[in-house]
Structure 1
Amino acid sequence: MKLKIKSSYRKGSDTYLLVLTNRIKESLKENAYFPKPTPELSVLEKAFLDFQAAKSVSGRNDMTLSSAKNDRKAELIGILDDLAGYITTTSNGDRTMLLSSGFDIAGIKAASQNLGQIEKLEVEIGPPGQAITRIKKVAGAKAYIHQCTPDPITSDSEWTSETIVESENTFTNLKSIAKYWFRVIAIGKGKQTVHSVLVSKVIQ
């Protein structure tokens, strides 16, 4: 029986879609089996960031923001569909190649996720030019990447990153009266990562 990529991401939760997409992005970077993925990883990265940003600001009581989030989700799913088609054709059922893609494969139990989810990201504004990012410690995490970038978020945004073992970090030398976006990435064994939601704050 020929192995196939699961399409469960089409009906999965928002969080599942983000976790899966991030795993696929990391798995396909410098992957010798798929040297020229179609669509390109930059396209996937942009759709991932757009959906993540839309999800972070959407709410049940705002139909416009909720609709925008669903539009970004549909775009990301469409890109994953195209990417799954490319990987299916290129791998021609090869088990190792399929598993290396990061997609869930039908008939193969997904690797256990040792990394817990980031439940909430708190961003505290400190003295002028400072902001503190804080999350609860994540089960299975070996380190945390605390990141910030000036508004607006685009696929070309340059993130300031601090990789530390603590779940709290203080950013300094930020521009006053400027809006920044913050996120935290927990790192586990292998290529396991989980992202927080995006949070925006105006710096003092």
Structure 2
Amino acid sequence: MKIAKLILSYSKLSDAQLNLKAQNIVDALTNNAYFPTTTPSLAQLTSNVTAFNLALNKAATGDRQQIALKNQTRLTLISDMRQMALDISSQANGDKAQLISSGFDIAKEGEGSSAIENPIDFSMSDGANPGEMIFCCKAVKGALSYNFQYTDELPTADSQWKTQPCSSCQFTFKGLKSGTRLYGRITAVGRKGQMADSDIISRMVQ
């Protein structure tokens, strides 16, 4: 008997579809007796849904800066949805009724398989100029792209990660504040939306 699983990645949804799916999840989890607490919290997901909806409206003007901000809030929302789907899957332990009640989609048989490996040999190093930091890891077999993420606060379940997607396994962040300690990680993204995270490490910005 196959164990029911949730779809973890919603990155292929359009902005409108993602907005609707995320709101449906918030509605489904509100006062849901199966999942009174989640990681990240329902309050955080609700806040990110609200931020994404607002960013969508502002980006509709075509302003390039607003579009960039919308894309950033989209990545944050997708990341939170993935983490929450993992947490709910763990809590439900294969109970299909509980999984369906969450508002997330159930994966079809075989979907979400072919997991990719976690990025290894992750390093953070100084760039050529002050305020630059290079994130790099060993190329992951089967990875279509990588999400480079950092936060300037000690990571917790509620941390807000700043994310930069890239097709390469190396990326240089620029314009960072010198003297700030950053905590970073890299997420490998597979062709079917599979995701795998590196360890979290930290370094001071030069």
| 2:92 corresponding residue in structure 1 | 83
| 2:135 corresponding residue in structure 1 | 133
| Distance 1:101-1:200 versus aligned 2 partners, 3 A rule | farther
Q: Which of the residues 171, 175, 192 maps onto 1:169?
A: 171
C-alpha RMSD of the superposition: 3.9
| 2:40 corresponding residue in structure 1 | 45
What do the CA deviations read for 1:10-64 (whole angstroms, capped 9, x no partner)? xxxxxxxxxxxxx76547x838799624427x82236xxxxxxxxxxxxxxxxxx
Distance 1:78 1:161 in 2: 21
Give 1:89 shift.
4.3
Identity of aligned residues (%): 23
Equivalent residues in 2 for 1:100-115, closer than 5 Å: 100-101=105-106, 112-113=113-114, 115=116
Equivalent position amino acid for 2:148 in 1: H
Distance 1:158 1:81 in 2: 22
User: Secondary structure at the residue paired with 1:115?
Assistant: coil
Distance 2:121 2:174 in 1: 22
Matched, 1:36 2:34: no
| 1:148 corresponding residue in structure 2 | 150
Q: Which of the residues 172, 184, 187 maps onto 1:185?
A: 187
Equivalent position amino acid for 1:125 in 2: D
Distance 2:161 2:25 in 1: 29
Equivalent position amino acid for 2:40 in 1: E
Distance 2:191 2:205 in 1: 34
Structure 2 gaps of 5+ residues are 11-17, 42-85
For structure 1, which segment, 117-126 or 178-187, has the greater mean C-alpha deviation from structure 2 after superposition? Answer: 117-126
For structure 1, which segment, 116-125 or 77-86, has the greater mean C-alpha deviation from structure 2 after superposition? Answer: 77-86
For structure 1, which segment, 124-133 or 171-180, has the greater mean C-alpha deviation from structure 2 after superposition? Answer: 124-133
Q: How many residues align?
A: 146
